[in-house]
Amino acid sequence: MKIQVGVFFGGRSVEHEVSIISAMQVCAALDREKYTPVPVYITKQGLFYTGPSYGDIAAYRDIPALLAAGSGVTLTPDGAGRAVLSRWPARRLGGNEIAVLDAALPVVHGTNAEDGTLQGYLEMLGLPYAGPDVLSSAVCMDKAVSKSLLATAGIPVLPGCTWTDTAWGARPDALMDELALRFGFPVVVKPVNLGSSVGVTRAADRAALRAAADLAFQFAPKVLIEPAVVRLREINCAVLGDAGAARASACEEPLGAGGILSYGDKYLSGGEADKGMGGAARRVPADLAPALRDHIQALGVHTFQTLGCQGVARVDFLLDCDKNQVYVNEINTIPGSLAFYLWEPVGLSFGALLDEMLSLAFKRHRQRAALSFTYESNILAGAGLGAKGGAKR
Ligand SMILES: Nc1ncnc2c1ncn2[C@@H]1O[C@H](COP(=O)(O)OP(=O)(O)O)[C@@H](O)[C@H]1O
Ligand SMILES: [Mg+2]
C-alpha cells in the first residue's frame, strides 16, 4: 500500500496563487512508486476541497468551476497517526470517506497557513507533517521576532525598529523623529509577517516614510523598519534537515530590475507564470568567491537550526557591497517551489527532496509519540465543582 500524502495548499494569504503553483509542482514530483498525492485545496475563504482534477494546474484557471466539480472535505483523526478525509457536507446516501492520509505535506505560503496555523491543525489531528512545527513556523513568519532571536545567537542581522498600528495612530511624528535619529535615511519599511515583497517600500525621506508606513499597516498590525542597504546583492540558499543534521543547497542570486524585488520580478519576469519560482530571473549558482559562498551556507545552516526549522527552508541574505558584510534577511519555512531548483545542482532531485522531507516528518512524529503526555493521578476520584480558588493552582 502506498503512502497517502495530503498536499495542502492555497489558503487565506496574499501568496495563494503562488502556493497553488508550488503544490502542483509537488504533486507532479512525488515518487509514485512510494506515494499517492491527495491534493487538499484551501480556498481564499478557508474552506477545504478536493477532487479528481485538483492535481492539475490548468483546472485552477476557473476556480468556481473547479469547486463545483470537486467536493468540500473535512479531516478527522483516527487516533493512530492518520486522518480520514471525508466529504463535507456529508452525503445522506453513499460513502463519504475519500482517503485516509498517512502524512501531510503543507505547501502553503504566507499568513494563515505557513505561520503555524495549518501546522497547529495538523498537530491536533495527530497527523505527521513535513516542514517546521508550530513554534518554528510562527517565529520565522514574524520578521521582528526572528531578527531578535538571530541577533541573540550572534548571527548577523540588520538593526530594526518595530512599530505597532496603535503607536503609529497615536504619535506618528514622534516615531519618525526617533527613527530618523537612529537610522537616518534611506530605510526599508515592511509588514512583519508578509512575503513576496507585498507592502515593502524603500523610503528616502520623511514624506516617503509616512506613505510607506501607511501602506505597510494595511497588511499587518506591526511594521518593521530597517536601514536600507544601498549597494545591495541578494543571495538565497536553502537548507534541508532538522536539529540533528542539516545541509545547505547551492546559492542563488535573484536578478531584479534594481531596488526592491517586486512580486512581479519574483514570479512573472520569467514570462511563464506556470513555472512559479522556477520561472523567475535568477543566477544559480550565484557568482560568489568560494570563501563567501561557504560562509553564507554555514550561516544558513546555523540560522535554520537556531530557529528550530525542519524539512526544507530558504534563508535569504542581504550583501552590503560597501561594507562587505553579509546579513540574514529572512527565512522562508515553506519556500516557493520548495526551492527544488537549488537542490538539483547539488545532485538531489525534486522527488528525492520530497522523500527526505517526508522521512523527517515520520521521524519527528515517532520522537514526539515517545514523549509522555499523560500523568497518572487520581485527581478526578474525589473532584467536585465546589473547590475554592478554582481547580488549577
Ligand atoms: N534592509 C534592506 N535594504 C535594502 N533592500 C531591502 C532591505 N530589506 C528588504 N529589501 C528588499 O525588499 C525585498 C523584500 O523584502 P523582504 O524582507 O525579503 O520581504 P518579503 O518577505 O516580502 O520577501 C527584498 O527582496 C529586497 O529586494
Ligand atoms: Mg524576501
The CATH number of the domain holding residue 145 is 3.30.470.20
- For position 211, which CATH number holds? 3.30.1490.20
Residues 6+ apart with CB under 8 A from 233: 253, 318, 319, 321
What is the rounded distance in angstroms from the CA atom of residue 222 to the CA atom of residue 194?
A: 11
Three-state secondary structure call for residue 138: helix
For the CA of 191, the nearest ligand: 1
212 belongs to a structural domain: yes
- For position 120, which CATH number holds? 3.40.50.20
Quick one: 71 and 149 in the same domain? no
What is the CA(259)–ligand 1 centre distance, in A?
A: 9
What is the CA(281)–ligand 2 centre distance, in A?
A: 15
Report pLDDT for 385: 82
Quick one: 249 and 287 in the same domain? yes
376 belongs to a structural domain: no
Quick one: 284 and 151 in the same domain? yes
Quick one: 145 and 283 in the same domain? yes
What is the rounded distance in angstroms from the CA atom of residue 319 to the CA atom of residue 329?
A: 10
- Which residue has the least CA distance to atom 15 on ligand 1? 197
What is the CA(328)–ligand 2 centre distance, in A?
A: 11
> How do beta strands 187-191 and 48-50 pair?
unpaired
User: Which atom number of ligand 1 is nearest to the Cα of residue 230?
Assistant: 4
190 belongs to a structural domain: yes
What is the CA(37)–ligand 2 centre distance, in A?
A: 29
- Which residue has the least CA distance to atom 11 on ligand 1? 260
Say how many domains are in the chain. 3
Quick one: 242 and 362 in the same domain? yes
88 belongs to a structural domain: yes
Q: Express each pLDDT in 170-212 by its tens digit.
A: 999 999 999 999 999 999 999 998 766 779 999 999 999 999 9
- Which residue has the least CA distance to atom 22 on ligand 1? 197
* Of residues 134, 107, 121, 104, the one with CA closest to residue 9: 107
Q: Give the three cell numbers for residue 373.
A: 503526555
389 belongs to a structural domain: no
What is the CA(157)–ligand 2 centre distance, in A?
A: 14
What is the CA(76)–ligand 2 centre distance, in A?
A: 35
Ligand 1 environment, Cβ below 6 A: 158, 188, 190, 194-197, 200, 226, 228-229, 232, 234, 260-261, 316, 318, 329-330
Quick one: 88 and 101 in the same domain? yes
Quick one: 150 and 290 in the same domain? yes
- Which residue has the least CA distance to atom 8 on ligand 1? 188
- Which residue has the least CA distance to atom 26 on ligand 1? 260
Q: Give the three cell numbers for residue 383.
A: 473532584
386 belongs to a structural domain: no
Report pLDDT for 13: 83
Q: Kindly give the confidence (pLDDT) of every residue in the chain, 393 residues in length, as a single tens digit, with 9 standing for 90 and above.
A: 899 999 999 998 878 999 999 999 999 999 999 999 999 999 999 999 999 999 999 999 999 999 999 999 999 999 999 999 999 999 998 899 999 999 999 999 877 778 899 999 999 999 999 999 999 999 999 999 999 999 999 999 999 999 999 999 999 999 999 999 999 999 999 999 876 677 999 999 999 999 999 999 999 999 999 999 999 999 999 999 999 999 999 999 998 755 666 666 655 544 333 334 555 689 999 999 999 999 999 999 999 999 999 999 999 999 999 999 999 999 999 999 999 999 999 999 999 999 999 999 999 999 998 887 777 777 788 778 876 666 666
Contact 303, 159 (CB under 8 A): no
* Of residues 14, 21, 15, the one with CA closest to residue 55: 21
Domain end (from 204, 227, 250)? 227
| Among 231, 263, 315, 318, residue to substitute to test ligand 1 (most atoms within 8 Å of Cβ) | 318
DSSP bridge partners of 200:
none
- Which residue has the least CA distance to atom 25 on ligand 1? 261
Quick one: 151 and 193 in the same domain? no
What is the CA(20)–ligand 2 centre distance, in A?
A: 19
What is the CA(111)–ligand 2 centre distance, in A?
A: 14
User: Which atom number of ligand 1 is nearest to the Cα of residue 199?
Assistant: 22
Quick one: 209 and 250 in the same domain? no
- Which residue has the least CA distance to atom 16 on ligand 1? 197
Report pLDDT for 46: 94
Quick one: 117 and 29 in the same domain? yes
| Among 114, 183, 190, 332, residue to substitute to test ligand 1 (most atoms within 8 Å of Cβ) | 190
Q: Which amino acid is at 73?
A: V
Quick one: 198 and 272 in the same domain? no
| Among 143, 147, 197, residue to substitute to test ligand 1 (most atoms within 8 Å of Cβ) | 197
Quick one: 123 and 146 in the same domain? no
Q: Give the three cell numbers for residue 153.
A: 545567537
What is the CA(188)–ligand 1 centre distance, in A?
A: 7
Q: Express each pLDDT in 330-340 by its tens digit.
A: 999 999 999 99
377 belongs to a structural domain: no
250 belongs to a structural domain: yes
What is the span of the domain harbouring residue 322? 140-155+230-369
